[in-house]
Amino acid sequence: MHGPLAGRAELGWGRLQRLDGLEGLDLGRSQEPPGARLRCVSGFASPVANREDAEMDDLELRSIDLGDVTLSTVVHGPDDGPAVILLHGFPEIGYSWRHQIRPLADAGYRVVVPDQRGYGASTIPADVSDYTVHHLVGDVVGLIDTLSLRDPVVIGHDWGAIVTTHVGLIVPDRVRAIAAISVPMLPPLDQSILQIIDGQRNGGFHYMRYFQEPGLAEQELDGDAIGFLRKVLWFASGDRPADVVEPDPMTQTTWFGDLDAPAGLPPWLEAGDFEAFARAFVRNGFTAPLNWYRNLHRNWELTRAWRNRPIDLPTAFIGGLSDFVVNGGTDGEVGAGVQFMQVLCTDLRRCDLLEGVGHWTQQEAPDEVNASLLAFLADVHG
C-alpha cells in the first residue's frame, strides 16, 4: 500500500475502533501524573509532561516487497534526509516508535519503521526456520536496498536491538551507526543462551525455555491476548507495583502464573495506543513472534564466525534502570550486559541510563530517548 495512510484502523496506526474483548475493561490510565517524576539522562533531566500525541494520519505506510516477505513500513521525513531505521521488539509492532517518528523527521531525518517479519501487517512466514537472525538482518538489508537508503543509522529496541547489533556485526559496511535500546550486545558465548539457562535453572521455569515448545506458550498468550499484553506492559515497566510477588519458578508453569495486572494501563500508555497493540496480536496470534525465540540456539550456531568480533561502528546504548534486562534483577543497578558494551563496542559514543524507566524505554520516556537519539545522530553525522 503506497500513498497516504489508508485502512489504519486495521493496521494499527492511528486511533482505533473498539476491539472485541475490550468491552467492560477499564483501560483508564493510572492516576499517577506522568509529569510527577523526573528521569535523568546522562547529566540532564527533563520532566515527562502530560501530552496528547498528534494524530498520525499523514504518515505514509508502504508495503515493501523484499521477495520472501513484504514488510508493512512507515516512511516519514524528507526523501533526501539521512536515513534512520527503527526496529521494534516483542511483543510490539512498529507503532511502539510513535513518539520518535515525528521528532526525528522534523530534525531532517528520513525515518523508516517496519513491522518486522511475523508482526502486525507484515508477512507471517509459517516455518520456525524462517525467523533466524540471518533472515532478520537480511530484512534490514532488503529495506536499505529497496528504499535506496545510503548509510542509515539502525536503532532497535528489545529484539530489535538484537537485530541491530547483528547488523553491526554481520554487515557493518551497509550502515553508518547503530543504537541499542534496552538489550545490550551479548558477549561471545561458548554456549547458546538456552544452554546457559538450562544449566542455571535447576529445572525451574524460565520464559525463554517456556517459549521453545510450539503451541505451549500460545495457550497462555493466544488464550488471553489482551490480558497477557496488559500484564507484560505493566510488570516490565518502571511503573510495576512494588508489592508484586514473583511466582515460584519451581512450581511455575506459565509466564505470569496467577499474577493479576493492576487496574487500567500504565501512566505512559493511552487506551487507543493499547488497542493498536491488542488488535495486532488478537488478529495474528503470537506464534510468529515466539518463533524468533525458537531460533535462539540456531542463531548461536549461525553466528559462530562473528563470535569474537567487536563492533567498530559508532554505537549508542539507552536503557532504563528499572528494566530487568538492564539491571540484571537489581533495580537501579547496572548489569553485566551493559558493562560488556564498553568492551564489545570499540566506538561506544553514548550509554544513557534512565532512572525509574522500565523495559518499554522509548514509550515510557519518549522525551529523554528522543533527546539522546538526536544527540547521537548529530554526533555521527557531524
- Catalytic residue positions? 158, 359
Element spanning 231, H or E? helix 225-235
| Residues β-bridged to residue 61 | 74
Angle at Cα 307 formed by Cα 113 and Cα 340, nearest 5°?
A: 75
Q: Which three cell numbers stand for residue 92?
A: 510490539
Q: Give 294-342 as a DSSP string.
A: TTHHHHHHHTGGGTTPPB-S-EEEEEETT-HHHHTTSTTS--HHHHHHH
Burial grade of 173 (CB within 10 A; 0-12, 13-18, 19 or more): exposed
Q: Is the bond into 91 cis (omega within 30 degrees of 0)?
A: yes
Q: Which three cell numbers stand for residue 139?
A: 530484512
Q: Which three cell numbers stand for residue 91?
A: 511483543
Identify whether the C-beta of residue 153 lies closer than 8 Å to the C-beta of residue 377: yes
Going from the C-alpha of 358 to that of each of 26, 107, 254, 379, the distances in angstroms are: 23, 27, 22, 26
Burial grade of 229 (CB within 10 A; 0-12, 13-18, 19 or more): buried
